[in-house]
Amino acid sequence: MSFKDFGLLDEVVQGVEAMGYTDPTPIQLRAFPIILSGGDMMGSAQTGTGKTAAFALPILTKLKSRGATRCLVLEPTRELAAQVETAFRDYARFMDVTVGLVHGGVGFGKQRELLTEGVDVLVATPGRLLDFLGDGTARLGDIEFLVLDEVDRMLDMGFLPQVRRIVDSVPKKRQTMFFSATLPPELETMTKWLLKNPEAVEIGAQRMPADTVTHALYPVAKDQKFDLLVAMLERTKFDSAIIFTSTKIMADKVAHRLKDLKHSVAVLHSNRTQREREDALAGFKSGKYEVMVATDIAARGLDIAGVSHVINYDVPQHPEDYVHRIGRTGRALNVGDAFTIFTAEEMDHVRSIERFIGTSITRQKLEGFEYLYTTLFNESSIPAGGFGKGVRTLSGYSFGARRKRR
């Protein structure tokens, strides 16, 4: 089926075709009829599945032309909000519909002007929107379409109280679309008061990384983690790579050391200013920076074309984050590679990821890299919990293939 076959507005079809897309993705095939017929929906889909267009195209079709603020989309992070706003604008380019963005980290002035002038589609993060609701600048009394995107992420970030307050300001008579990669118990109650007879759409096994991503684990001793990363970057033909770390401090540290080695590096984490975050993303997208070091703030939903490699410098502590992180590559129909560096201390996290995705991940050695220890390739020798506190990294254990660094 093509986009024309669903009863989407001609201008919307033109908009999506101008993006170069010819066939709807599976989640779009399922979502279009539900949303166009006025139903609530609860969606879970792998990242990079075309989720944004799945709700944007039917909503734009129903909006048709200018009016009051009739559609509100809530996103957990500024970057995601900006990305979804851009997508709406792209799809609406042949329509007379306005789209606006409201998020924290920047001045209030322009956003206040925007809200005063009025927009048809408002994409927002919860905190800043509440500020504007509090002082009366934002009015949500005309909302007909409410989209709550990446709701499990909002839960993780502690946004649920804000989301509830916002939803209370939106008319009860509306159409609600709810997207969440996972459905923790806290969200089940939320879906009950939020949605009316929702249709559930689940695309693919939500726990599995996309088929277009090849992923592997690279065991290494803690002392050699950074060396292995550098060797990977040297030996791999990559167009652009995202390196994930578990903490902001580690992101800065890795970025700093890579810069010392003359790599061009962008850094993205929540302690950076809005301007720095925007520069990092724009520079990475344009190819100015070959690598971007990021914390999980960048893992969810960000759509960065042409990411050929994802490297996990630290193993994610939550298994779902593994799927999200490696979902940054191999988006839509492109093929990507994801490497996860791990040390004995991270073995438990690796095991829980494998349990979560329901399969084991291939262990690989980097050809030509001089490993100090190779015992990690024989995991049966690693006790649960790694080598334990008080035991110096890998040294207190019996390591068969221990060699001296030359």
Ranges assigned E (strand) in 227-357: 241-244, 265-268, 291-294, 309-312, 336-342
Alpha-carbon dihedral angle through residues 253, 258, 264, 270, given to the nearest 10 degrees: -20
d(CA 334, CA 239): 13
Q: Which of 15, 30, 49, 144 binds ligand AMP (CB under 6 A)?
A: 49
Q: Which of 48, 76, 100, 386 binds ligand AMP (CB under 6 A)?
A: 48
Q: Which of 6, 41, 52, 215 binds ligand AMP (CB under 6 A)?
A: 52
Shortest Å distance, C-beta 133 to ligand AMP: 27
285 vs 349, beta carbon nearer ligand AMP:
285
53 vs 231, beta carbon nearer ligand AMP:
53
7 vs 67, beta carbon nearer ligand AMP:
7
Shortest Å distance, C-beta 219 to ligand AMP: 32
| Residue 300 binds ligand AMP, judged by CB under 6 A | no
Asked whether the beta carbons of 212 and 330 are under 8 A apart, the reply is: yes
Binding residues with ligand AMP: total (CB under 6 A): 15
91 vs 289, beta carbon nearer ligand AMP:
91
146 vs 203, beta carbon nearer ligand AMP:
203
| Residue 240 binds ligand AMP, judged by CB under 6 A | no
Shortest Å distance, C-beta 16 to ligand AMP: 7
Q: Which of 6, 11, 24, 338 binds ligand AMP (CB under 6 A)?
A: 24
| Residue 25 binds ligand AMP, judged by CB under 6 A | yes
Site stretch for ligand AMP (CB under 6 A), options 44-52, 180-188, 241-249, 378-386: 44-52
Helix (H) or strand (E) holding 200: strand 199-203
Site for ligand AMP in 302-361 (CB under 6 A): 303, 331-332
45 vs 115, beta carbon nearer ligand AMP:
45
Shortest Å distance, C-beta 343 to ligand AMP: 32
19 vs 261, beta carbon nearer ligand AMP:
19
Cα–Cα–Cα angle for 354, 180, 138, rounded to 5 degrees: 150
Shortest Å distance, C-beta 68 to ligand AMP: 26
Q: Which of 43, 50, 76, 100 binds ligand AMP (CB under 6 A)?
A: 50
Shortest Å distance, C-beta 80 to ligand AMP: 9
301 vs 386, beta carbon nearer ligand AMP:
301
Shortest Å distance, C-beta 49 to ligand AMP: 5
Q: Which of 8, 13, 35, 53 binds ligand AMP (CB under 6 A)?
A: 53
d(CA 395, CA 389): 12
Q: Which of 14, 17, 21, 308 binds ligand AMP (CB under 6 A)?
A: 21
Site stretch for ligand AMP (CB under 6 A), options 21-29, 163-171, 174-182, 289-297: 21-29
d(CA 287, CA 68): 39
Asked whether the beta carbons of 82 and 274 are under 8 A apart, the reply is: no
**Contact set with ligand AMP (CB under 6 A):** 21, 23-25, 28, 48-53, 301, 303, 331-332
